[in-house]
Structures are given as C-alpha cells and as structure tokens.
Amino acid sequence: MSESNAAHGAHETNYVRIYGILLALFVISVLGPTLGIEAVTLITAFGLAVVKATMVAGYFMHLNVEKRYIWYILLAMLVFILVLFAGVAPDVMKSSGQNWRDASGFVPPTPPVHH
C-alpha cells in the first residue's frame, strides 16, 4: 500500500486515547443541556458534535494524513448543503404572512398543535 498508510501507522498508540476524549466530549454533550441554558445547549450539543465528527474524520478516517483535497471535496459537499439551507429556509421557515395569502383571502388549514 501507499506511503500514507505507513504514516497511518505512526498514530497507532493514539486510538484509545482519541476514543477516551470522544467519550468525555459525549458526556459533556449529554450533561450540557441539563443546565437548561439554550446557549449552553447549542454549544455542548451541536458545537461538540462538530468537534467529535471532525475528530472521527481526522483520526479514525485518517483524514489528518490523507491528501489535502479530500478535505476540500467533503467540505465542498457540506457547503452545497449550506447553500441549499440558505436558499430554502427563507421560504420553508416563513410560510406565514406572505402577500399572496392576504391578497387572495385564502386561509390555509392550521396545522394541528400537540400539547
């Protein structure tokens, strides 16, 4: 196999430690939201998810020693998803109060609300 695989070997001893860090981050991400502070929830749940996923990709998937452009390919895909979100969210998240509805007098059925 290739040279980069030899490089992978250099990380051998770290896997269990990485695993330990991931578990610690996981515990924080579960405990964070129990405080009930929204900002803390966002950071611990989603910020740490990004950190954990990056660690899994970097160390377990060996992206840290893979050719740089593999990162770029994967990140480009994420950017496309962000573009999708940015283009769609203004419509899907603001379906109330648009002009066409007022002008026509059409009232859509209200979605059922639970609790």
Partner 1 sequence: MSAAHVPLATTRSATGIPTGRLAVWWVLASEIVIFGGLLAAYVMFRLHHPHWHAEASHTNTWAGGFNTVVLLTSSLFAVLAHQAALRGDGPRAARLLYATIGGAAIFLLVKAFEWSTEISHGFTLFRDTFWSFYYTATGLHGVHVVVGMILMTLIAADARRDRNLHRVELIGTYWHFVDAVWIFLFPLFYIAR
Partner 2 sequence: MSHDTAAHAAAHGSVWRRWVFSTDHKVIGCQYLFTGMAMAVIGGLMSYVFRMQLAWPDAPVPGYGVVSPGEYNALVTNHGSIMIFWVAMPVLIAALGNFLIPLMIGCDDMVFPRLNRLSYQIFLLSALVLLGSLAVPGGGFGGAWTSYPPLSAKGAYNLTPYGAPLWLVAVALEFVAFLLGGINFVTTVMNARAPGMKASYIPMVVWMIIIASILFMASVGPLVAGAVMLLFDQILGTRFFDPAGGGDPLLWQHLFWFFGHPEVYVVLLPAMGIVAEIITVFSRKKLFAYNTVLLTAAGTGVLSFLVWAHHQFVAGIDPRMAHLFTVTTLLISIPIAEMTFVFIATLYGGSITFPTPMLFALAFIAEFLIGGVTGIFLGSSGTDIYLHDTYFVLAHFHYTFFPIAIIATFAALYFWFPKMFGRMMNDTLGKIHFWGTVIPFNFIFIPLFITGMGGDHRRIYSYENFPMQMTPFLQELRIVATVSLVILLLFQVVFLFNFFWSLFRGPKAPANPWRANTLEWTAPSPPPHGNFATMPSVYRGPYEYSVPGRADDYWPQHVAN
- Residues engaged in binding partner 2 (CB under 8 A): 76-77, 80-81, 83-84, 87-88, 90-92, 94-95, 98, 100, 108-109, 111-112
SS3 79: helix
Continuous H helices in 10-111: 15-31, 38-41, 48-55, 68-92, 99-104
- Cβ contacts of 7 within 8 Å, gap of 6 or more: 65
Q: Is 35 in the site for partner 1 (CB under 8 A)?
A: no
Q: Is 97 in the site for partner 1 (CB under 8 A)?
A: no
Q: Is 101 in the site for partner 1 (CB under 8 A)?
A: no
User: Which CB atom, from 36 or from 108, has the smaller least distance to partner 2?
Assistant: 108
